């Protein structure tokens, strides 16, 4: 019987664990609760993925109210894949968290951090399972509000201004989304995604729907940090506690990309889309992000900020994959969601280790670190190679599909641009590797020891994932392909 309730349990477990953490001011205990809730969510997500791949999409009616009227939770291969990504990264990052958090967050606030993390997890998982556009807004705000709080927990006072800036832009984005949803409701009288998908074509040429599409895409673009709506992201990632940066980079942007996929394909109809040329807009913005953000990343002196700009560029690749509106392009985007979560998770966790031992993530302070912290920096090399897209890593698999998608469309220029932008990634990754391995260590670096094993294990789980899924990509590609097929099928 409980199996039927899995889609709701996926959200309820972290959502209920959050207030429990908030009233228990014992950081060890709340950490255990947070870890247990994440692992439970992962178990649920894996079960759902298994069910969905064998039996097809699951539809769960909240309170048993029938679909277009009641809220429907819908788990198809894409949603299940995202649930696995979010809860798996959440679990690994929670495993990593205790030492890093103790170093970066005040002791009396750690239990609250765990509560906020769980709320964020609940919000993200909710955004993925829900099949209702307004319910999505509610979960979006749950995850956004908790991430503002988590960012403001950073040590530097700039974390406060970064959180405030994100709050303003995030709220504007969410409100734009609500305006768009309101306009769509006005014309169709429904909030259910699938139902919207069937009713929209009839009214798609009206000015209301064109405005609604613009509002919704801009609103989600803000959450997604799609260039040029990205101004909140570099500061937020740079000044948040490293664990938070890792979690947000690995999961929050992925879920925003997922929402964009849902909107463009399930709601607007994908290739059959009329009204606003969303795909062309995404194509241009994706390419601008790939180059602009990578170029800015090269000139950063703070490693966290460098990775933040690199994230913007990677989001560009995902957006580009969507803009092709083909099965291969979608596969590239969906697989890159997973792969980018692996790389950025690993890289940010490495910076967590560096911060623990060095007390800073300035690149200049990392001189000679390759000898002092060999395991940590080796993981950085693996993640960095994957970011560039070297064969035998997951980054290569993503780029391979992306370039194939471009060639299928006959867009040679785009394929060349993808390759060229990878060269930019090589430059910024190399900058850190060069400092860490080929510069003589300063006096203070000589005192530094390797990071504790409890932190290295999660780092290497992710780093090994980068290689494992790079060589053995059949499973992830299979899941991504069936997810892409469902999206395109529902778009017809």
Partner 1 sequence: MSFPGLINSWAAMALMMIGFYAVIAHGNLVKKVIGLNIFQAAVFIFYISMAKVRGGTAPILGDNLTLFSNPLPHVLILTAIVVGVATTALGLSLVVRIRDTYGTIEDEEIRAIEAAE
Residues that bind partner 1 (CB under 8 A): 134, 137-138, 141, 145, 148-149, 152, 157-158, 160-161, 163-164, 167-168, 171-172, 174-175, 178-179, 182, 185-186
Residue 449's SS3 state is coil
96: left (phi over 0), alpha (psi -120 to 50) or beta: alpha
State the Rg of the chain over Cα.
21
Exposed, middle or buried: residue 144 (CB in 10 Å: 0-12, 13-18, 19+)? buried
Residue 275's SS3 state is coil
- Shortest distance, CB of residue 199 to partner 1, whole angstroms? 15
- Shortest distance, CB of residue 213 to partner 1, whole angstroms? 17
Give the span between the Cα atoms of 198 and 269, in whole angstroms.
8
CA dihedral 208, 209, 211, 216 (to 10 degrees): 140
Strand (E) or helix (H) holding 467 = helix 453-471
Please list the helix, strand and coil fractions of the chain in percent, rounded to the nearest 5, in that order.
80, 5, 15
- Shortest distance, CB of residue 175 to partner 1, whole angstroms? 6
Exposed, middle or buried: residue 213 (CB in 10 Å: 0-12, 13-18, 19+)? buried
Do 406 and 322 meet the contact criterion of CB atoms below 8 Å apart? no
Q: Which is nearer to partner 1, 78 or 174 (CB)?
A: 174
- Shortest distance, CB of residue 113 to partner 1, whole angstroms? 15
Q: Which is nearer to partner 1, 191 or 480 (CB)?
A: 191
Q: Which is nearer to partner 1, 71 or 387 (CB)?
A: 71
Give the span between the Cα atoms of 83 and 61, in whole angstroms.
18
Q: Which is nearer to partner 1, 186 or 427 (CB)?
A: 186
Q: Which is nearer to partner 1, 28 or 158 (CB)?
A: 158
Nearest to 261 by CA among 491, 95, 73, 421: 491
Of how many residues is the chain composed? 492
Do 140 and 123 meet the contact criterion of CB atoms below 8 Å apart? yes
Exposed, middle or buried: residue 412 (CB in 10 Å: 0-12, 13-18, 19+)? exposed
Give the span between the Cα atoms of 464 and 25, in whole angstroms.
35
Give the span between the Cα atoms of 49 and 43, in whole angstroms.
10
Q: Which is nearer to partner 1, 138 or 417 (CB)?
A: 138
Q: Which is nearer to partner 1, 149 or 415 (CB)?
A: 149
What are the tokens at 441? 């260590």
Give the span between the Cα atoms of 233 and 118, in whole angstroms.
21
Q: Which is nearer to partner 1, 141 or 450 (CB)?
A: 141
Q: Which is nearer to partner 1, 185 or 437 (CB)?
A: 185
Give the span between the Cα atoms of 194 and 208, in whole angstroms.
19
Strand pairing partners for 192? 132
- Shortest distance, CB of residue 106 to partner 1, whole angstroms? 13
Please say whether the dihedral angle defined by the alpha carbons of residues 463, 468, 469 and 475, taken in this order, is positive or negative: negative
Q: Which is nearer to partner 1, 148 or 469 (CB)?
A: 148
């Amino acid at each position: 019987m409980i199996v039927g309730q899995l889609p709701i349990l996926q959200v309820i477990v972290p959502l209920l664990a959050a207030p429990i953490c908030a009233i228990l001011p014992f950081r060890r205990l709340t950490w255990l609760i947070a870890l247990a809730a994440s692992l439970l969510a992962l178990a649920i997500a894996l079960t759902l993925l298994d069910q969905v791949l064998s039996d097809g999409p699951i539809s769960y009616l909240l309170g048993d109210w029938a679909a277009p009227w009641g809220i429907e939770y819908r788990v198809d291969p894409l949603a299940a894949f995202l649930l696995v990504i979010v809860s798996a990264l959440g679990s690994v990052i929670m495993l990593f968290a205790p030492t890093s958090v103790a170093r970066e967050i005040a002791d009396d606030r750690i239990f609250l951090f765990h509560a906020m993390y769980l709320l964020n997890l609940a919000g993200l998982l909710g955004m993925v399972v829900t099949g209702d556009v307004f319910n999505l807004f509610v979960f979006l705000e749950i995850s956004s509000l908790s991430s503002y709080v988590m960012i403001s927990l950073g040590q530097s006072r700039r974390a406060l201004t970064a959180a405030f800036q994100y709050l303003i832009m995030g709220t504007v984005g969410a409100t734009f989304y609500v305006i768009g949803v309101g306009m769509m409701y006005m014309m169709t009288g429904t909030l259910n995604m699938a139902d919207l998908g069937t009713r929209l074509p009839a009214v798609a040429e009206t000015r209301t729907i064109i405005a609604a599409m613009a509002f919704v895409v801009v609103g989600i673009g803000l959450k997604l940090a799609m260039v040029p709506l990205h101004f909140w992201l570099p500061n937020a990632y740079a000044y948040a506690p490293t664990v938070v940066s890792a979690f947000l980079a690995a999961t929050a942007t992925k879920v925003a990309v997922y929402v964009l996929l849902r909107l463009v394909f399930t709601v607007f109809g994908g290739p059959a889309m009329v009204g606003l040329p969303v795909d062309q807009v995404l194509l241009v913005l994706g390419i601008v992000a790939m180059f602009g953000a990578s170029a800015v990343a090269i000139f950063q002196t703070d490693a966290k900020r460098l990775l933040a700009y690199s994230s913007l560029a990677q989001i560009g690749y995902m957006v580009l994959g969507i803009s092709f509106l083909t099965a291969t392009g979608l596969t590239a985007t969906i697989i890159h969601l997973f792969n980018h979560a692996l790389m950025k998770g690993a890289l940010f966790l490495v910076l967590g280790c560096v911060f623990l031992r060095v007390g800073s993530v300035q690149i200049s302070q990392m001189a000679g670190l390759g000898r002092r912290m060999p395991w940590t920096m080796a993981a950085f090399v693996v993640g960095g190679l994957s970011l560039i897209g070297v064969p035998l890593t997951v980054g290569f698999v993503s780029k391979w599909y992306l370039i194939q998608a471009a060639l299928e469309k006959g867009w040679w220029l785009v394929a060349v641009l993808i390759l060229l932008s990878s060269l930019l990634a090589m430059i910024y990754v190399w900058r850190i590797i060069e400092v860490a391995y080929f510069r003589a260590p300063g006096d203070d670096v000589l005192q530094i020891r390797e990071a504790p094993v409890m932190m290295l294990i999660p780092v290497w789980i992710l780093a090994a994932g980068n290689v494992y899924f790079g060589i053995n990509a059949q499973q992830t590609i299979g899941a991504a392909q069936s997810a892409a097929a469902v999206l395109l099928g529902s778009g017809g």
